[in-house]
Amino acid sequence: MTNRSFFPPMADDSLWQPNRGISRLVQRVIVVLFAIFALISVATTCGIVLSLIFETIEFFKKVPLWRFLTDNQWTPLFSNPQYGIFVLISATFLTSVIAILVALPLGLFSAVCLSEYAPAGVRKWLKPALELLAGVPTVVYGYFALLLVTPLIRSFAPWISGFNGLSAGLVLGISITPLIAALSEDAIYAVPNSLRQGSYALGATKRETIVGVVLPAALSGIVASIILAVSRAVGETMIVAIAAGQNPTLGLNPFVPIATMTAYIVQVSLGDTPAGSLAYTSIFAVGTTLFLITLALNIVSFWFVRRFQEKYE
């Protein structure tokens, strides 16, 4: 008797027999199912943390933490192994800095141009083009770096190695430019027009309005896009694995072969490494380091957005 109502009967009640019990049951099943789906994302995070921790502990059972932090070479596969993680971090740092030096001005100015200067018709075409370029697989960028950019650089400076941090960093920068441009453009475009008008009414020129009012108003979104781009650069694998080489070198020389954290993981994965071996656990230790770095960037980004996000209406 799912149809019995609390209220007095109405005429034609026999025509109306909604099966409220079934509806409610269906809804309950759906909610439980979808809740499980939503919890898969939480499970993923737990899976990442657990699988990293598990093997990293195994690694540190054999390698003391202080050697991980203080050795000045990274040669875990040699007979006289050294475990200085900063060798890999320095390479990651180098390529990321070069990339940001390229991507920051290009991306930000492009975003300003699209949002503030480009006519609506141009913007309509450029925006999807940018998003498309942001989706080009990084292995393709790796091809560019090794086979187009490096030969170009070496035609000017033949003494630079065939594998080097410079061309990997440059192409890495080109690859994250669309990301910065697209996300910053979203933030800049979302600044309410009333602010621009308020600024013009004070006798500001267009550039003064953009630099003095619009960009500061969009700051949280812009910074978030930059941090996301940095963490992409830090975690990017294929470009550096293909073009920067696989030769762990401590230092910030952009002209010699280097190995980033990600490149090392790829190098070991390509070989046939038995589970449980030191090489196997070492990629998890490197992965944990990488994860912690990107997590820290993420937390900074989160904090910044919470702190500086402006709410209009």
Partner 1 sequence: MTLPSQAFQDDSLDFKELKFFPDLPKRYKIDSVFKFASWAAVVIALSVLSILLIEVAIDGLSMINWQFLTSYPSRKPADAGILSPIVGTIWVMVLVALFSFPIGVGAGIFLEEFIADSFLENVIEVNIANLAAVPSIIYGLLGLQVFVRWLFPLTQGRTIISGALTLTLLVLPIIIIATREALRAVPGSMRQAGFALGATRWQVVRDIVFPQALPGILTGTILALSRGIGETAPLITIGALTYVAFLPPLSLEGLHSTFSVLPIQIFNWVSRPQQEFHLLAAGAIIVLMVLLLAMNGIAIYLRNRFQITR
Partner 2 sequence: MAFNSSSVTMTEVVLSLRKLNVFYGSSLAVRDVNIDIPPNQVVAFIGPSGCGKSTVLRCLNRMNDLIPSARVEGQIFYHGKDIYDKVVDPVDLRRRIGMVFQKPNPFPKSIYDNIAFGARINGYKGDMDELVETSLRKAALWDEVKDQLKKSGLALSGGQQQRLCIARAIALQPDVILMDEPCSALDPISTLKVEDLIHELEAQYTIVIVTHNMQQASRVSDYTAFFNAEPTEKGGKVGYLVEYDKTDKIFNSPQEQATQEYVSGRFG
The residues, any chain, with a CB within 8 Å of residue 127's CB and separated by 6 or more, are 114, 182, 185
Min CB(304)–partner 2 separation in Å? 14
Q: Is 74 helix (H, G, I), strand (E, B) or coil?
A: strand
Binding mask 57-96 for partner 1 (x = CB under 8 A): ----------------------------------------
Distance of CA 11 to the CA centre of its chain: 63
Out of 133, 219, 278, 279, the only residue in the binding site for partner 1 (CB under 8 A) is 133
Query: Which residues inside 225-284 make contact with partner 1, applying CB under 8 A?
Result: 228, 231-232, 234-238, 241-242, 262, 265-266, 269-270, 275, 283-284
Binding site for partner 2 (CB under 8 A): 192, 194-205, 208, 212-213, 216-217, 310-312
Measured CA to CA in angstroms, residue 25 lies from 5, 21, 30, 31 at distances of 18, 6, 9, 10
Handedness of CA 212, 214, 220, 224 (dihedral sign): negative
Query: Which residues inside 144-183 make contact with partner 1, applying CB under 8 A?
Result: 144, 146-148, 174, 177-178, 181
Measured CA to CA in angstroms, residue 65 lies from 69, 83, 256 at distances of 6, 9, 28
Min CB(79)–partner 1 separation in Å? 25
Per-residue tokens: 199: 């600024």
164, HSE (Cβ side, Cα atoms, 13 Å): 21
Residue whose CB is less far from partner 1, 27 or 70: 27
| 198 contact choice in partner 1, partner 2, none (CB below 5 to 8 Å, kind-dependent) | partner 2
Distance CA 222, CA 227 (A): 9
Residue whose CB is less far from partner 1, 75 or 237: 237
Binding mask 179-218 for partner 1 (x = CB under 8 A): --x---------------------x-xxxx-xx-------
Min CB(192)–partner 1 separation in Å? 19
